[in-house]
Amino acid sequence: MSERKSGRIFGMKDVTIIDEGQEYNAIITDISESGMSLKADISLFTFKEIIIRFKINEEEINLRASVRYVQDFTKSSRLNLKTIGVALIDPDKRYVQYVKGLES
C-alpha cells in the first residue's frame, strides 16, 4: 500500500453528501488536505463524483470529491453506517487553509 500524500487529522464533523441531487447526512471521521473519511448510511460506487457540503466558520462550501472506497459497517458497530473514503478534486483554498490550521 502506498504512503499517504498528506497527514490525517482525526475528529468528527457533520457534513452533507450530495449525490445526483439527493442529500445524505454524514460525519467526517478523519480529514486531510487531499481527502477524508466519512461515515454515512449510503452506498456509492467507487470513482463516482460527489459533492460534500462543509461549513467552515459558518460559511458553507461545496467540495467536489471522488469516492475511493466504501466499507460496510461491522457487526460490532452500534450504527449501520458505512465508511466512505474520498479524494478531493481541486479543493477550495478555504478548505486547505482550514485543514492546515487544524494541523498546527
The domain spanning residue 43 has which CATH number?
Answer: 2.40.10.220
Q: How many domains does the chain have?
A: 1
**Closest to 84 in 3D by CA, of 49, 39, 54, 31:** 39
- What is the C-alpha to C-alpha distance for residues 86 and 64, in angstroms, rounded to an integer? 10
Question: Is it the case that residue 7 has pLDDT exceeding 70?
Answer: no
The answer to the question of residue 65 being in a domain is yes
pLDDT at 72: 84
Q: Which residue has the higher pLDDT, 29 or 11?
A: 29
pTM, to two decimals: 0.82
The answer to the question of residue 4 being in a domain is no
- Domain range for 60 is 9-103
> Is there a contact between 42 and 83 (Cβ–Cβ < 8 Å)?
no
pLDDT at 1: 43
The answer to the question of residue 29 being in a domain is yes
The answer to the question of residue 2 being in a domain is no
Question: Is it the case that residue 15 has pLDDT exceeding 70?
Answer: yes
The answer to the question of residue 1 being in a domain is no
Q: Look over the chain and give the mean of its residue pLDDT values, rounded to a whole number.
A: 85
User: What pLDDT, in 10s, does the model give residues 60-102?
Assistant: 999 999 999 999 866 555 667 899 999 999 999 999 998 888 8
